[in-house]
Amino acid sequence: MKKVLYTCPYVPAEWVAAHGLQPCRIIPVSAAAGSAVDRLEGLCPYVRGFINEIAAEKETCGIVATTVCDQMRRGFDLIVRRCESPAFLMNVPSTWQTVAAQKLYIGELKRLGGFLVRLGGRLPTDEQLAEVMLKYDAARRNIFSAKEKLSAGEFAEAIASFSHNGPGERIDDSADSEPVGCGVPLAIIGGPMMINDFDILRMAEQFGGRIVLNATETGERGFCSPFDRRSLRENPLMELAAAYFGGIPDASRRPNSELYRWLERELATRGVRGIIFHRNVFCDIWHAELSRLKDFSGLPVLDIDSTGESESYRQRNSNRIRAFLEMLT
């Protein structure tokens, strides 16, 4: 089956799968994973890595980008010029509280459906969409329920694998399997992480921490909210839109108060004692949240920026994370 590539969490995989195509969320390995886009000053390394990977992917039938940030819009212009597959720019409104914004998002899903049909997909019935949604929902629940049994790196990899390949084999979440050992409870908060940046998670746990909340865009914060079963049966498209557009808290929303409400609840529930703040260089959206997050949380915050490519950054991160954990223990 040919793949539809995207990276934004506001693109519902279920909608693509229900059209009979394979959704494939690209989480780049690094910024320099290919050669379609060389280093461009001011270009977010995550966007660069995304474009490089989709340009190298052979089994593609279409690409979907969104308007969540200016960098991604700029990325779409590069995609159109440098990638051969048809590309679609989905408008995701920054405002979210009004009925007009919600209608616009649903309208964009329908417009995306037209694009998917032009790629060879077919418009799903409500029953077909509901069936796919249940399958994806069960896979997400399984990943969550297995979390205590996984290291932070394994948990991030499980999410990345599900995002890339769709629901696969169940992860063992039985009561018999051993939970991962304890450490200083930490949260990692920020924008999307590239696969190579998962090293940060491993370092944190190696130096005595335990990541109890992965609130990055490629972590659990990027998951839509669980589906309401009754709404799913009555109107699956509306429920899909509500779970994605209304269920993913992000710094790009205007206002982004939901992000802080969500963080307030999750940081307290999980007893977090320190925060690793992860951002990609040239990402203004997340950089702007750094001082607010420090004031809001009242917790020690370690700011880690990523270029997505340099080995010297890895050593620097290692030293800084070790010192941060020494301070907390």
Q: Which is nearer to ligand SF4, 93 or 191 (CB)?
A: 191
Nearest approach, Cβ of residue 2 and ligand SF4 (Å): 25
Residue 308 contacts ligand SF4 per CB under 6 A: no
Q: Site for ligand SF4 (CB under 6 A): which residue of 69, 129, 150, 159? A: 69
Residue 283 contacts ligand SF4 per CB under 6 A: yes
**Pairwise CA distance, residues 121 & 19, whole Å:** 5
Residue 71 contacts ligand SF4 per CB under 6 A: yes
* Binding segment (CB under 6 A) for ligand SF4, from list 34-42, 64-72, 125-133, 178-186: 64-72
**Pairwise CA distance, residues 171 & 160, whole Å:** 14
Residue 47 contacts ligand SF4 per CB under 6 A: yes
Residue 259 contacts ligand SF4 per CB under 6 A: no
Residue 192 contacts ligand SF4 per CB under 6 A: yes
Q: Site for ligand SF4 (CB under 6 A): which residue of 46, 198, 245, 313? A: 46
**Pairwise CA distance, residues 121 & 142, whole Å:** 28
Q: Do residues 67 and 91 touch, judged by C-beta distance below 8 A?
A: yes
Residue 277 contacts ligand SF4 per CB under 6 A: no
If we measure between CA atoms, which residue out of 208, 206, 170, 194 comes closest to residue 278? 194
Residue 191 contacts ligand SF4 per CB under 6 A: yes
Residue 72 contacts ligand SF4 per CB under 6 A: yes
Q: Residue type for 195, please? A: I
Residue 44 contacts ligand SF4 per CB under 6 A: yes
**Pairwise CA distance, residues 329 & 327, whole Å:** 6
Nearest approach, Cβ of residue 244 and ligand SF4 (Å): 17
Any alpha helices (H) in the chain, and if so which ranges? 13-18, 45-56, 70-82, 99-118, 126-145, 152-165, 199-206, 229-234, 236-245, 257-269, 284-287, 290-297, 311-328
**Pairwise CA distance, residues 22 & 3, whole Å:** 5
Residue 43 contacts ligand SF4 per CB under 6 A: no
Residue 6 contacts ligand SF4 per CB under 6 A: no
List phi, psi (to 5°) of 194.
-80, 160
Nearest approach, Cβ of residue 215 and ligand SF4 (Å): 14
If we measure between CA atoms, which residue out of 248, 249, 264 comes closest to residue 296? 264
Residue 286 contacts ligand SF4 per CB under 6 A: yes
β-pair partners for 6? 25
Q: How many residues bind ligand SF4 (CB under 6 A)?
A: 12
Task: Tell me the C-alpha to C-alpha distance, in Å, between residue 311 and each of 145, 190, 198, 308.
Answer: 34, 21, 14, 9
Q: Which is nearer to ligand SF4, 50 or 115 (CB)?
A: 50
The helix (run of H) or strand (run of E) holding residue 6 is: strand 3-6
Nearest approach, Cβ of residue 193 and ligand SF4 (Å): 9
Residue 198 contacts ligand SF4 per CB under 6 A: no
Name the site residues for ligand SF4 (rule: CB under 6 A): 44, 46-47, 69, 71-72, 191-192, 280, 283, 285-286
